[in-house]
Amino acid sequence: MSVIPSYCVLRYICYCSCLTLHEETMANPAPRKEIPVSMRFRDDDLAIIDRGAALTGLSRTEFMRRAAVHEAQTAILNESVIRLSPDAFDAFVAAIEAAPSAPPPKVAERLQRKAPWEN
């Protein structure tokens, strides 16, 4: 695999199998503690939450817990997983392994400058 030039930083994670989110388990799990969370809502927001909870047959607390966990998982996945088709993955690998192209002229010029603290 070729060396990635210093002006180009790539962060990627490729998953070739299905990803499922599970809580980590320890060999000797400690008793779980539930921690209360206090939140403030406008009346109209709370009415929507209560209606959604009632329609799904869940308590307000469980409905909100599930929604919060789902949003957190989505945010984490959006920052850490790139899903690619096999063809797109092959193109991605080919791009990484290809010889690096020359940096744009402005980038090359900036890389030649000394940092202000080096003067």
Residue 48: burial class (beta carbons within 10 Å; 0-12, 13-18, 19+): exposed
Rg of the chain over all Cα atoms, to the nearest angstrom: 24
Q: Give the three-class secondary structure for 23.
A: coil
Q: CA–CA separation, 30 vs 58, rounded Å?
A: 27
> Per residue of the chain (119 residues), what is the pLDDT tens digit?
444 443 333 333 333 333 444 444 455 667 778 888 899 999 999 999 999 999 999 999 999 999 999 999 999 988 887 888 999 999 999 999 998 888 899 999 998 998 888 87
Say if CB 109 and CB 13 are below 8 A apart.
no
Look at residue 28 in the predicted model and tell me its pLDDT: 60
Q: b/e per residue, 57-87, with b = 16+ CB within 10 A?
A: eeeeeebbeeeeeeeeeeeeeeeeeeeeeee
- Say whether pTM exceeds 0.85: no
Residue found under tokens 């927001």: 45
Distances (CA, A) of 114 to 5, 15, 54, 104: 18, 40, 64, 18
Look at residue 21 in the predicted model and tell me its pLDDT: 41
